[in-house]
């Protein structure tokens, strides 16, 4: 008898939980992005492409506040710069971003972002030239910590599984003269 009562209670709890999960708002998404920007640190300076991938969770009655842990990778070289040595370097960022929709009108919103990051940069300085000159190349690696901010536009139709962000102003400032300024385009793939 006790097993039967336990079984009925378990079915009741599982059944009501299943109905409570059916909501039309998408509170979670996978966020991807592509960026073009400038990066400078203690030893390195260059322009390049960056890619980002992360998870995002919305909060609040109108989903105006979002958290977004993500990873960003990029490759840089001194394209168009004549006052720095030849260098090729990569960076890997671990970011934790907080997005907030300042103004929203239907699917369009003005979004701001604040966050923190840790960065690992590595690469070659004085790379290139004749084959016998590679001995003068120096490998470097640097760690940085800092904060980031951005502003942009977000288009998030309620009935769509996609949301788009165009953030023309993104600034990361960190330890040991680290700075990254970039233009970013993001796509959110909404999950249930």
Q: What is the pLDDT at residue 20?
A: 45
Inform me whether the pLDDT recorded for 2 exceeds 90.
no
Q: What fold is seen in the domain 24-191?
A: Porin (2.40.160)
Contact by Cβ (8 Å): 159, 169? no
Q: Is the dihedral of CA 121, 126, 128, 134 positive or negative?
A: negative
Domain ranges of the chain: 24-191
Q: How far apart are the C-alpha atoms of 66 and 75, rounded to whole Å?
A: 28
Q: What is the pLDDT at residue 138?
A: 86
Average pLDDT, whole number, for the chain?
86
Q: How far apart are the C-alpha atoms of 186 and 168, rounded to whole Å?
A: 11
Inform me whether the pLDDT recorded for 15 exceeds 80.
no
DSSP state of 155: E
Digit-coded pLDDT (tens) for 72-83: 999 999 988 878
Q: pTM for the full model?
A: 0.79
Q: What is the pLDDT at residue 91?
A: 96
Report CA Rg, the chain.
23
Burial of 102 (0-12, 13-18, 19+ CB in 10 A): exposed
By mean pLDDT, which of 7-11, 95-99, 181-185, 188-192 is the weakest? 7-11
CA angle 46, 47, 48 (to 5 degrees): 125
Digit-coded pLDDT (tens) for 90-134: 999 999 999 999 999 999 999 999 999 999 999 998 866 555 555
């Amino acid at each position: 008898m006790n097993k039967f009562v336990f079984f009925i209670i378990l079915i009741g709890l599982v059944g009501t939980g299943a109905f409570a999960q059916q909501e039309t708002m998408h509170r979670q998404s996978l966020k991807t992005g592509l960026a073009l920007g400038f990066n400078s640190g203690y030893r390195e300076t260059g322009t390049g492409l960056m890619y980002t991938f992360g998870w995002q969770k919305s909060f609040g009655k109108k989903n105006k506040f979002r958290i977004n842990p993500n990873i960003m990778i990029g490759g840089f070289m001194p394209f168009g710069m004549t006052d720095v040595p030849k260098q090729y370097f990569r960076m890997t960022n671990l970011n934790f971003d907080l997005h907030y929709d300042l103004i929203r009108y239907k699917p369009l919103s003005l979004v701001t972002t604040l966050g923190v990051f840790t960065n690992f940069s590595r690469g070659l300085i004085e790379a290139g030239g004749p084959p016998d000159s590679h001995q003068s190349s120096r490998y470097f690696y640097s760690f940085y910590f800092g904060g980031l901010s951005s502003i942009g536009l977000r288009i998030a139709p309620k009935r769509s599984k996609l949301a788009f962000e165009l953030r023309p102003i993104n600034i990361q400032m960190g330890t040991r003269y680290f700075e990254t300024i970039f233009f970013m385009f993001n796509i959110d793939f909404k999950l249930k």
